[in-house]
Amino acid sequence: MKPLWDNQIEEYITPDECHVHAVRSVLATGRTARQGFQIVTLGGYGRAMVIEGRVQSTEADEAAYHEALLLPAYCLLPHTRRVLCLGGANGGVLHRLCAMPELETVVQLDIDPELHRHSLEHLPHLHHDGPADPRCHLAFGDPRTLLADQDHDFDLVLADLPDAVEDSPTPGLFTQEFYREVKGKLAGNGVFATQAGPANFLDPEFFASVLRTLRSVFRHVLPYTLTVPSYGIPWGFALASDDLDPAALTEAVVEQRLARLATAPQCYDGGTHRHMTALPLRLRTALATAGRVISDADTLAVRV
């Protein structure tokens, strides 16, 4: 097939379907010790981070993804003083956490210091002043090794992870054993929030498996979805807790909690929360019958 543009990114949604972006300029490209990356300007989306050929965030719609990942958990929690963030050092999370009025400390664990440096240089819109905030502490290394060294009293553990593609470290961060390790780091009334892959009722295996795996570890698990346009397909997320039921979170509480933030959200409010948690019938049906519990011995990657 003839390319649509002289330079483009072809991102497969399934082995039989592709989402294509026009690349207007290349700011940086290469391979770190851990993964291949591009930092580019995409037509219609602006500056973007691409890891292993898959778009992770863009200037135009990163707020939709990062607020969907973070703010439902913030609204559910009675307070968010101590936060552990797995991944996400490429930006988008820290400055939003720093807007939370009760925040005392954030520990962020990531695998790739080289990519972090590239992101700071080329994607300053993602970072703002988050990395300079004295409440924020960043460490690089193997995520599970770093996780084992952390305290056991985090109000929120947040998994801001790249797509779980084959031959990357990410599939090992969606397993039952890993979720048990995460659960062991939560304080009473603690909450775990994670991205959970494509919310595609025609190909539900990964999203459904993440939910089954979480439910094998946590008492309460709430799936929700949001359209992030640059991904080409709705995206899945999940909240998990033993002590707090995410399904009990109301629009009124969402609005009350958001009003306390130092920076108002761009994409998330009470009405958006209602929409995100109201999964379409076909997706609910697909998730009810698909998936399996993922283990360290039998990991699962997103189909591409």
Active site residues: 160
> Is 2 a member of any domain?
no
CATH of the domain at 14: 2.30.140.10
- Domain co-membership, 68 together with 43: no
Q: Is the pLDDT of residue 1 over 80?
A: no
Residues 254-267: pLDDT tens digits?
Answer: 999 999 999 999 99
Q: Tell me the C-alpha to C-alpha distance, in Å, between residue 204 and each of 24, 201, 213, 217, 218.
A: 33, 5, 14, 20, 21
- Domain co-membership, 187 together with 43: no
Give the number of domains in the chain.
Answer: 2
- Domain co-membership, 16 together with 83: no
Strand partners, 295: 298
Residues 215-237: pLDDT tens digits?
Answer: 999 999 999 999 999 999 999 99
- Domain co-membership, 129 together with 225: yes
CATH of the domain at 248: 3.40.50.150
pTM of the model: 0.96
* H or E, element range at 40: strand 36-42
Q: Is the Cβ–Cβ distance between 191 and 241 less than 8 Å?
A: yes
Q: Residue 230 is which amino acid?
A: S
Strand partners, 54: 51
Q: Is the pLDDT of residue 201 over 90?
A: yes
Q: Is the pLDDT of residue 3 over 90?
A: no
Q: 54 lies in which domain range?
A: 8-58
- Domain co-membership, 127 together with 51: no
